[in-house]
Amino acid sequence: MSARTLPLLFLNLGGEMLYILDQRLRAQSIPGEKARKVMNDIITTMFNKKFMEELFKPQELYSKKALRTVYDRLAHASIMRLNQASMDKLYDLMTMAFKYQVLLCPRPKDILLVTFNHLDAIKDFVRDSPNILNQVDETFRQLIDMYSCLSAGEFQLIRQTLLIFFQDMHIRVSIFLKDKVQNSNGRFVLPISGPVPWGTEVPGLIRMFNCNGDEVKRVEFTNGGNYISPQREGSFDLYGDRVLKLGTNMYSVSRPVETHMSGASKSLASHTKENAAPNPLAKEELNFLARLMGGLEIKKPNGSEPGFRLNLFTTDEDEEYASLTRPDELSYKVINIQATQDQQQNEELARIMGEFEVTDQPRQSTSKGDDLLAMMDEL
Amino acid sequence: MYRKARSVPLKSSSSALYNNLSVLPLRDKPLTYFAAVHGSTVSLASAAADGLSVSHRQLQAKEGGPAVSASIVTQASWCVLPSRVLLVLTSQKGIQMYESDGSIMVYWHALDVLEPPPAQAVFARGIAAASGRFICVGTSSGLVLVFDVPSKGTNITLSEVLEEHHDSITDITSEVGENPNGAADLLTADDSGALCVWRAKEEFSLLTKISAFGWTCSSVKLWNGVIAAGYGNGQIRLYEATSGALRATVSAHARWIYALDLAPLTGKLLSGAEDSYVQIWKLSRNPDTGDIEIEHCHSECVTDTQLCGARFCDPEGNSFAATGYDLSEIVRYGQV
């Protein structure tokens, strides 16, 4: 559908990832200097100029799996490492948080305010590094250039494209359950009270006109909800009050990152479907990944900067348990790319794929992985 | 008063798309067909009146040319012509027409797919039967394609292209009233909120144009010369079809309206929106002044559901059905 969706999807999911990593770095008492380096490295990589150029080209969305691969790489752009269970949990949290924001944003256009909330927070993470700050501001301007001229209808198409991307994901997130914005079946709670979107009237009034256009009758009715008028519109400028709270950082020391991993049975079924379906698009997806990730630089830990492992769970035992008990259907089965032969045939691709080794140990190739390998051999 | 009846389960959940429910009550059997879109598939269900004994069928979007990702279906709707009933699917790749039960595809019209993909999305959307032998389908570039459909067989031809809209077509409808006063036969709506009213004779001619006011018009209906239009700001507007004159504004919903429907025999109007409400209204004409009047009849909240489709299930409007984003069932209500 809308070919303008990918930048918003990528930046907002990336923003959620940074919120979670920031919170876990604190919770795991990673020294300040080290934590700052990790955040700076990831943000630098995320807003890489070449990468952003690829991202902003009009294109369709790709599968959840392909996108997950990009974040896998992004999360490992510094000296920090995440194992499979923590990475799964990180991606679940990111996607459910952004799904909630897309679903709840009052007008389709407000997805832009959600994005600006994420970028404002990212700028705060790198406030002491003017170079990175400039990089983020550059993307900010690109967003304003591309999106400020779009109509309400085009924003609705973007929103509908995102909702199709997130459809059938019902993973329960404890912070949402505690706040009572998610039901135990994984569906989000939709309020029927509070302010209506900017530009919308509070429901309840009928006005009738005669053939001359004069108002001849006014009737009120009860619509069932309990709405009020909105206060003001958020700012769509580089700086300003966004008014909307969706997309701001919901985690804090007193509100830690947690997930319930018991996906509803429905979500299990849909995941199974996605994994089982033969995917004729693998080649196109591979090209997408290669193009996109050509711009992502990965830093390998070296002697002077010892790496460390981040855990998305409270203890190592919890993490271990999660990796053992995660239903197979829920596994994203990250595309495990290993250029097996003839690396020189396509140097660029081979270089990218060669660098792309984020899994701790080689896992059994999925059928999808086999397809990718076969295709790469053909290159 | 309406009361909740047994839901019809779907094989997959419904996508957030305008007018994402089509209902076809069968004439010769006590069965009703339902169709709702899920990504690149369409879920069909046929259900008996009691909601028991449901049977299912899934249709896939046809892929035209080298696909970069699965083509998303934008709408599925039955078109009832006097001679035959066809099920029409619109997608990013083109237009598919099936026999009413979805068993056989009788026609395929491909949209031009550009390489590299343009910034503007390409798709077809908006489906309606008109004037006895035509099926009209809208496109993202604002065209309305008119197909001439023979009473049987597959010799469907593109007979005319209507070029009046500058934005993506959102919905198309034709006159459903018993006593249409005026010459309006077809109504088309677009993303900017502009409406075009057409008269169908040998060719379609533009009767009047109703200009946009900043909000998308997502769903339209035409009943006895009255236009009902639902907008992104939650408003319903009623217009005189022949003149385009505004006759009523209704602050109906707190969020984007996704579907309108009209019961032709009673003038009942139904609206469904992202605010999780279905509202039922009644349209009439004041016998003394000729003014169009509208009154509110009923509110129904489908809890925690952003509605994407809503339809009456009978010509009197005694029952209705609705679909919602991420919801794998069709909720139904009947009058008590």
At B114, the pLDDT band (50, 70, 90 cuts) reads low
Buried b / exposed e over B303-335, threshold 16 CB at 10 Å, is: ebbbbbbbbbbbeebbbbbbbbbbbbbbbbbbe
Residue in A62, A202, A211 nearest the CB of B251: A202
At A64, the pLDDT band (50, 70, 90 cuts) reads confident
Q: Torsions phi, psi of B212, nearest 5? A: -75, 160
- Evaluated on CA atoms A68, A272, A372, A80, the torsion sign reads positive
- In chain B, the N- to C-terminal Cα span, in Å, equals 6
Rounded average pLDDT over A198-222:
96
Beta strand A226-228 with A193-195 is: parallel
What is the number of helices (H) and of strands (E) in chain B?
0, 28
* Residue B66 clears pLDDT 60, i.e. is over it: no
Residue-level pLDDT at A303 = 56
**How many beta-carbon pairs below 8 A join chains A and B?**
183
At A201, the pLDDT band (50, 70, 90 cuts) reads very high
Predicted confidence (pLDDT) per residue in A325-367, tens digit: 776 656 665 544 433 333 343 454 444 444 444 433 333 334 3
C-alpha distances (whole Å) from A335 to each of A267, A305, A365, B263 are: 21, 28, 9, 52
B210 in reach of chain A (CB within 8 A):
no
Rounded average pLDDT over A149-172:
95
Residue-level pLDDT at A377 = 35
Residue-level pLDDT at B180 = 64
CB atoms inside a 10 Å sphere around CB B133: 17
A197 in reach of chain B (CB within 8 A):
yes
Rounded average pLDDT over A38-55:
92
Ordered DSSP codes for B164-226: --SS-EEEEEEB--SS--SS--EEEEETTS-EEEEEESSSEEEEEEE---SS-EEEEEEETTE
A229 in reach of chain B (CB within 8 A):
no
Predicted confidence (pLDDT) per residue in A75-96, tens digit: 988 889 998 889 999 999 999 9
Domain segments of chain A as ranges: 6-191+238-335, 193-228
Residues 68-87 on B with a CB inside 8 Å of A are: 68-70, 72, 74
CB atoms inside a 10 Å sphere around CB B205: 12
* Residue B148 clears pLDDT 70, i.e. is over it: yes
Query: For residues B74 and A179, what is the distance between their CA atoms, to the nearest angstrom?
Result: 35
Residue-level pLDDT at A273 = 41
Higher pLDDT pick, B17 / A280: B17
Buried b / exposed e over B32-61, threshold 16 CB at 10 Å, is: bbbbbbbbbbbbbbbbeeeeeebeeeebeb
Which residue in B103, B127, B175 sits closest to B21, CA to CA?
B127
**Length of chain A as a residue count:** 379
Portion of chain B with pLDDT greater than 90, in percent: 84
A315 Ramachandran zone, left/alpha/beta (phi>0; psi -120 to 50): beta
Portion of chain A with pLDDT greater than 70, in percent: 73
Ordered DSSP codes for B237-304: EEEETTT--EEEEEE--SS-EEEEEEETTTTEEEEEETTSEEEEEEEEE-TTT--EEEEEEEEEE-TT
Task: Indicate yes or no: CB of B248 within 8 angstroms of CB of A224.
Answer: no
Lowest mean pLDDT, pick from A220-234, A240-254, A291-305: A291-305
Predicted confidence (pLDDT) per residue in B247-302, tens digit: 999 999 999 999 999 999 999 999 999 999 999 999 999 999 989 999 999 999 99
Average pLDDT of chain A, as a whole number: 80
Residue-level pLDDT at A347 = 52
Residue-level pLDDT at A276 = 37
Picking from B93, B256, B292 by the largest number of A CB atoms within 10 A of its own CB, the best residue to mutate is: B256
Beta strand B2-9 with B217-223 is: unpaired
* Residue B237 clears pLDDT 80, i.e. is over it: yes
Buried b / exposed e over A228-265, threshold 16 CB at 10 Å, is: eebeebbebeeeeebbbebbebbbeeeeebbbebebbe
| B90 contact partners, CB below 8 Å, separation of at least 6 | B73, B74, B75, B76, B96, B123, B124, B125, B126, B127, B137, B138
Hey, what domains does chain B have and what are their CATH numbers?
A: 166-301 (2.130.10.10)
| A214 contact partners, CB below 8 Å, separation of at least 6 | none
Residue-level pLDDT at B63 = 72
Which residue in A321, A327, A335, A322 sits closest to A363, CA to CA?
A335
Residue-level pLDDT at A344 = 40
| A171 contact partners, CB below 8 Å, separation of at least 6 | A92, A95, A96, A186, A259, A260, A261, A263, A267
Picking from A2, A5, A57, A157 by the largest number of B CB atoms within 10 A of its own CB, the best residue to mutate is: A157
Average pLDDT of chain B, as a whole number: 93
B123 in reach of chain A (CB within 8 A):
yes
Rounded average pLDDT over A241-267:
72
Higher pLDDT pick, A35 / A295: A35
Residue in B117, B255, B291 nearest the CB of A3: B117
Rounded average pLDDT over A199-204:
96
Query: For residues A155 and B72, what is the distance between their CA atoms, to the nearest angstrom?
Result: 17
B277 in reach of chain A (CB within 8 A):
yes
Query: For residues B128 and B77, what is the distance between their CA atoms, to the nearest angstrom?
Result: 8
Residues 284-313 on B with a CB inside 8 Å of A are: 289-296, 299-301, 303-306
Residue-level pLDDT at A364 = 39
Query: For residues A216 and A224, what is the distance between their CA atoms, to the nearest angstrom?
Result: 26
Query: For residues B71 and B90, what is the distance between their CA atoms, to the nearest angstrom?
Result: 10
Identity of the amino acid at A273? K
**Residue A269, helix vs strand vs coil:** helix
Q: What is the CA radius of gyration of chain B?
A: 18
The Cα of A149 is separated from the nearest Cα of chain B by a number of Å equal to 13
Q: Torsions phi, psi of A215, nearest 5? A: -70, 125
| A34 contact partners, CB below 8 Å, separation of at least 6 | A79, A308
Please list every residue in chain B whose beta carbon sits closer than 8 Å to the beta carbon of residue A270. 12
Predicted confidence (pLDDT) per residue in A233-250, tens digit: 999 999 999 999 999 999
Query: For residues A292 and A316, what is the distance between their CA atoms, to the nearest angstrom?
Result: 33
At B170, the pLDDT band (50, 70, 90 cuts) reads very high
Query: For residues A28 and A44, what is the distance between their CA atoms, to the nearest angstrom?
Result: 23
Which residue in B134, B129, B126, B127 sits closest to B201, CA to CA?
B134
Q: Scanning the structure block, which residue is given the tokens 């099920």?
A: B87
At A68, the pLDDT band (50, 70, 90 cuts) reads confident
Rounded average pLDDT over A111-139:
97
Residue-level pLDDT at B201 = 81
Residue-level pLDDT at A182 = 94
Task: Indicate yes or no: CB of B291 within 8 angstroms of CB of A203.
Answer: no
Lowest mean pLDDT, pick from A94-103, A132-141, B60-69: B60-69
User: Using the 8-state DSSP alphabet, how is residue A114 labeled?
Assistant: H
Which residue in B245, B325, B255 sits closest to A230, CA to CA?
B255
User: Among A255-269, A292-306, B119-133, which range has the highest average pLDDT?
Assistant: B119-133
At B182, the pLDDT band (50, 70, 90 cuts) reads low
At B30, the pLDDT band (50, 70, 90 cuts) reads confident
Lowest mean pLDDT, pick from A40-44, A88-92, B90-94, B118-122: B118-122
Query: For residues A364 and B260, what is the distance between their CA atoms, to the nearest angstrom?
Result: 51
Predicted confidence (pLDDT) per residue in A277-299, tens digit: 444 455 666 666 666 666 666 65
